[in-house]
Amino acid sequence: MNKLRKILCAVSVLVLTSIMTSPLIADSSNFAGPYVGFQVQAVGVELDGNIKSAGDAKGETTTGTAGKTAIIGGLEAGYVIPIGIEGLLLDIGLSYTAGGAKMRTNNDDEKASADVIFEVDDLYTGWIAPTFALSDTSSAYIKVGYTHATVSVTGDVTKPDDMEGATYAIGTRTVLASGLFIKTEAGITKFDALSVQGLGKGGGAGTANSSSVETSTNVTADPTVAYGSISIGMRF
């Protein structure tokens, strides 16, 4: 996860440098209009977890961080609008990313309690992205978006709500005369915290082979997604 973040920071610095050192070009017609594309993402998902248990005299709290990286694919569509200022445009779009990652939260409470597995998948993101034309074929943008993700859980706990969060990204897009484009992007999504409660319905409660999570146990997690993506598509 740390390596992925370093890569994303490096890409962001390069894009910002390109924006600051390149003159804005008046001809933005090569970028304007509707588009669709296919994207491939390298995703790192991180859960900062916390398990509180009052199931025994100690009432331990177990904290930790679980991470998972994956390569996933998705679709995107949007519309780029010139906003009347030389070389500036506004990109409004929506993307769907299939797949995701599973993360296990381990509990070391002496009243042995089963692990809980969170699975995050099916991410939908809507965004606006101010875009700066760097040349007749290249542009850079800053993106702000809203992301929704489906959450499922395995374990003797209540079902959490789906996740919602804010996405921030920076990227570049190159558009050929034919309308074919290639887009690179680095970003991060910070989701709202997840929280589940033990149901106490599993077997073997209080034993080493327990599949039960005590009703006094509360599991919380703060999910963060960092990603780098490449998109190929067509502007119409």
Radius of gyration of the chain (CA): 22
Phi, psi of 78 (to 5 degrees): -170, -175
Interval 164-174: pLDDT, tens: 999 999 999 99
- Residue 229: CA count within 13 A, CB half-sphere: 27
Q: What is the pLDDT of residue 121?
A: 78
pLDDT at 160: 81
- For the chain, which residues score pLDDT lower than 50? 24-26, 56-64, 109-112, 204-209
pLDDT at residue 25, as a whole number: 47
The answer to whether residues 89 and 82 touch, using CB atoms and an 8 Å cutoff, is: yes
Q: Which residues pair with 62 in a beta bridge?
A: 51
Per-residue pLDDT reduced to its tens digit, 148-201: 988 887 777 788 888 899 999 999 999 998 999 999 999 999 998 877 777 776
- Report the candidate in 173, 194, 181, 176 with the shortest Cα–Cα distance to residue 103: 194
